[in-house]
Structure 1
Amino acid sequence: MSIPLLPSWPPSLPSEAVSYLSDQATDYALAHGIVYRPVALSPTTAPALDSAIHAPFSLLPSPFPRALFDRAQSIQPAYDLLYAQVSSDHTFLQRVIGQSVIHVDEFQKQLWDIYISVKDDLVQPLSLGLFRSDYLLHDAASEGEKGSRSGELELKQVEFNTISASFGALCTKVNGLHRHLASTTDYLGAHEQLKSLDNLPLNAAQEVLIEGLAKAHAAYNATAQAYVLFVVQEGERNAFDQRPLEHALQAQGIRVVRQTFAEIAQRMSLTGQDRKLLLAHPVLGEIEISVVYYRAGYGPSDYASAKDWETRKQLERSRAIKCPSIAVQLAGAKKVQQVLAEPDRLEPLLSTIGMENKVNEMRETFSDLYPLDTSPLGQKGYELAQTEPQNFVLKPQREGGGNNVYREDIPGFLAQLEAGEGEKGAVAKRQAYILMSLIKPPAGLGNYLVKAATKDARAGAVLAKDTVSELGVYGAVLFENGAEKVKVHHHRSGGYLLRTKGRESDEGGVAVGFSVIDSPLLI
């Protein structure tokens, strides 16, 4: 595939032009709900509910190869169905998770214990997956530390998200921001390709997520007015990425209620043989729940006590459709990603779902992935982690960012795992991680990052001269287990998230301040 050269970025703009565009963009962001709640004044207080700041965004869209953008879109349906199939394959999950990860990862063990205890006693056969597959551009020409925009670019998958795939609303709005600036200012003539809206693809991410939730609600077939339950974190700053989904559902006549695990524990009950999920809401009264949509529950910190785990179990047992189910969440473990990259693992699964024609395209997105167990591949991975750590990242079975170990920190981290343990214990602890070759994004790309003022930084556009952009593609699939393969009731893929950060940051979280929300300028 021929990939055009990416232009040097950003184009030259005088300071007055940057300020003008930044002012226009900031007002657009505030007017269109591209906002966060501000950081709490102290660790012991919640964010203020009556004020907001704009979410971080890029002033200009970032160049991205059109052919690779299209490829990411074209293979998303296969990825959606693949992970739906994995979640329905108990034998696969038992081998990959039940016989490995849970022995060294307490969080995964808690999920697995719930999965095992309920899998043969489910009253709701349907599951909803709202997925996002994340990619980086890899510059094959940079292997010799040359670093270029040479056209030897490849699309490499970072991870596949099966729970709380966020920013579908905000990324749609930032796409609108960039299209607004292009159509009203031509970006002051900064670059020829910024003048054409055809290079700024419309973003259907929010629509894909909303349609998935609406289809699940309809499939629940409530006899009375039922609500979609958003399970949220206490003091959520990113509520305005969630509220647009809620408001769009409500515009269709589908009511939504937001609750934390603690609130659900106090108010929930399962009634009847079909275990209808009811909430005794203090204002709304007793309400029935059709869909449980998790925007919390993806990490250990969301489960403060055994009571929270029991709440998750009871939600899983209920008639409500889960997004995701425990099985779908387990399918998103990094260990699954690593196993799928092994020889001959992907092919039979894709054949089962009729997507065998996508094998080569999907494999081309895989980085080198290794277990850290006693298998020959695991032993090779451990050796590479010790001898060539600068080329790798160590990943645990976690969502949400901030959990990885990078480059030269890897040998010392592994040594800590092994300290005071015999070889058997050391190997066991290592199995909680996978080793992934580092993706090397092209050099020569920067952007103006626009952030709200904090105690550490001023407001406005700041030039980041060396940036990295990560592309995510969304998918929604409503399915149930079949005798051999999943039975699909609704499936739609599309929309995208582009996050951009300074190259010096290994982590990519927007909410925690590392990245800004961006959109692609297709080249």
Structure 2
Amino acid sequence: MATPTLPSWPPTLTPSQLTHLSTLATDYALSHGIIYRPLPSSPSTTPALDSAIHAPFSLFPSPFPESLFTRATNLQPSFDLLYASISTNHAFLTRVIGQSVIHVDEFQKQLWHIFISVKDDLVQNLSLGLFRSDYLLHDEESDGLVGARRGELGLKQVEFNTISASFGALCTKVARLHGHLVDTTGYLGVSEGLEDKERLPENKALEILAGGLAAAHKAYLSQFYAGARGQAKKRVYVLFVVQEGERNAFDQRPLECELQKESIPVLRETFAEIAERMIAQTSSNRTLRLAHPVLGQVEISTIYFRAGYGPSDYTSSQAWETRKQLELSSAIKCPSISVQLAGAKKVQQVLAEPNELSSLLAAIPSQEAKTEMLKETFSDLYPLDDSRIGEEGYRLALQSPEGYVMKPQREGGGNNVYRSDIPPFLKELEKQGEKEGEGAIKKRAAYILMSLIKPPSGLGNYLVKAGSGAVLGKDTVSELGVYGAILFEDKGEKSPLRVLHHKSGGFLLRTKARESDEGGVAVGFSVIDSPLLI
């Protein structure tokens, strides 16, 4: 079925209309917790705990083809099962990570060493994945830079996030913000269809993510507190591992509130605080307990990592040792170290190689038939190592860089290298490798090469940012993320995946100006949006 024609966007507003709508939207954002802590006055200080600004958001929802939105949501359960299964496939992880990536990426090497040291000594075989698969609309016939849409639109996967898949709470609230403007103003009648709230899908991202954490907590209680009285269970907490000076706390606090509705308490700690307060485990008792200065001794059922996805979160050997001790504990991890490794960009690249995806899906009941549907979302992906396909990727990176992006193995935004920046970056990597005695290839092998997705042009939106108001972005790109929550048991490679809880749905739409290559909201490049289905 052909995708519908995207409308000219955004609708035209008079200055008075723009002021009216943006004032209503900003007040809604501030009064409903669509907020950040402001940047600190100096990079050496932490954000003020008693101040807030609204998070960046779009004034209008952005047009998105309903058929492709539905396709993305329908694919999420299969992607959840795929990555959960990969995390239990130690032979695959060894081949892709242990025999490749760790030789060129120090961060992945540290994660791998923890995985190897704990995998045969684990006492908790349940793992929780709170995942998000990110996509862009793709117009194969467009140059992606100027002009109207030329071809049939498709859906291409940008990445699959297995740790700290954020913005579930804020994107839920921004969808409600757009619904509020429909209810209260009908968007002043400036565009046909904007008054139809049925075209604004309900966003259940917060519900999906909180439901996964609740399922993990209850599974832990069933393991260790079956038949216990309620009072004993009240001392069992879900632990949020957070960054020092976290600006995005108000995307995390609503998850706490959802859990508290089910009488599940939450504790927020940094790696440093955990290291200081963790009570030593024994070989016979791996219960994770923290000696909190206010709450006293508390037990942890589930560890939810909103930190730990990048090298900057591990500022010392103590932080790495803390991560290892958390992994060894009886608490359920979200994610476990193997699930985090499964999210490496190298895994995404290997899945695009012939027969890899079909082989993995064949091991999951009822999933082999989904191979082609998942594969259709893959872009052209290449390693940059000394393999045959790696040498082809290297040639393309040097000869036609305008069509590609180089990606390292880690999350967090701001790490990619685009277009004409690729050749000089590669040359610099090679110089570093030769200078350090590692050879030219080793440094570049820490990256993958991905063909750039070509989003349709001709769409814009008003981008509302604290301090600058509503600014018209005349040419914008929207990235759709779909969430999934899966609680599963790792029973070994020869056993089928056992799933205890699996829900998917909820979405994050991030919109940015086309000239901004990176898409991370927290690093200031995009705004939180919601789809207007067409």
Deviation of the 1:176 alpha carbon: 0.2
Summarize the alignment of residues 291-370 of structure 1 with structure 2, pairs less than 5 Å apart: 291-354=302-365, 355-370=367-382
- Partner SS, residue 121 of structure 1: coil
Contact 1:58 1:447 in 2 (8 A): yes
Residue identity over aligned pairs, in percent, reads 69
Summarize the alignment of residues 451-490 of structure 1 with structure 2, pairs less than 5 Å apart: 451-453=465-467, 458=468, 460-482=469-491, 483-490=494-501
- Structure 2, unaligned stretches of length 5 or more? 226-231
Query: What is the match of residue 403 of structure 2?
Result: 391
Contact 1:5 1:151 in 2 (8 A): no
Contact 1:141 1:147 in 2 (8 A): no
Query: What is the match of residue 239 of structure 1?
Result: 249
- Structure 1, unaligned stretches of length 5 or more? none
CA–CA distance in structure 2, aligned partners of residues 211 and 9 of structure 1: 36
Contact 1:270 1:318 in 2 (8 A): no
Deviation of the 1:463 alpha carbon: 0.5
Deviation string 1:64-120 (CA, Å, 9 cap, x unpaired) is 010000000000000000000000000000000000000010000000000000000
Contact 1:2 1:151 in 2 (8 A): no
CA–CA distance in structure 1, aligned partners of residues 321 and 51 of structure 2: 35
* TM-score of the aligned structures, taking structure 2 as reference length: 0.95
CA–CA distance in structure 1, aligned partners of residues 144 and 258 of structure 2: 49
Query: What is the match of residue 409 of structure 1?
Result: 421
CA–CA distance in structure 2, aligned partners of residues 288 and 382 of structure 1: 50
Please, which moves more after superposition, 418-427 or 11-20? 418-427
Deviation of the 1:143 alpha carbon: 4.1
Contact 1:352 1:484 in 2 (8 A): no
Query: What is the match of residue 240 of structure 2?
Result: 230
Contact 1:6 1:151 in 2 (8 A): no
Deviation string 1:244-292 (CA, Å, 9 cap, x unpaired) is 0011101210000000000000001244524000000000000000000
Deviation of the 1:205 alpha carbon: 0.3
Deviation of the 1:38 alpha carbon: 0.9
Contact 1:85 1:486 in 2 (8 A): yes
Query: What is the match of residue 511 of structure 2?
Result: 500
CA–CA distance in structure 2, aligned partners of residues 237 and 437 of structure 1: 33
Query: What is the match of residue 258 of structure 1?
Result: 268
Deviation of the 1:299 alpha carbon: 0.3
Distance 1:54 1:145, change over 3 A: closer
Deviation of the 1:141 alpha carbon: 2.0
CA–CA distance in structure 2, aligned partners of residues 131 and 351 of structure 1: 21
* TM-score of the aligned structures, taking structure 1 as reference length: 0.97
Contact 2:103 2:109 in 1 (8 A): yes
CA–CA distance in structure 2, aligned partners of residues 348 and 467 of structure 1: 38
Query: What is the match of residue 195 of structure 1?
Result: 195
Please, which moves more after superposition, 466-475 or 261-270? 261-270
Distance 1:264 1:144, change over 3 A: closer
Deviation string 1:158-195 (CA, Å, 9 cap, x unpaired) is 00000000000000000000001011111001111111
Partner residue of 1:371 out of 367, 383, 398: 383
Deviation of the 1:361 alpha carbon: 1.1
Query: What is the match of residue 26 of structure 1?
Result: 26
CA–CA distance in structure 2, aligned partners of residues 368 and 478 of structure 1: 31
1:116 aligns with 2:116: yes
Distance 1:143 1:512, change over 3 A: closer
1:122 is aligned with what amino acid?
Answer: L
Query: What is the match of residue 88 of structure 2?
Result: 88
Deviation of the 1:338 alpha carbon: 0.2
Deviation of the 1:131 alpha carbon: 0.1
- Partner SS, residue 478 of structure 1: strand
- Partner SS, residue 141 of structure 1: coil
Q: Which runs of 4+ in 1 moved over 6 A?
A: none
Query: What is the match of residue 267 of structure 1?
Result: 277
CA–CA distance in structure 2, aligned partners of residues 157 and 256 of structure 1: 33
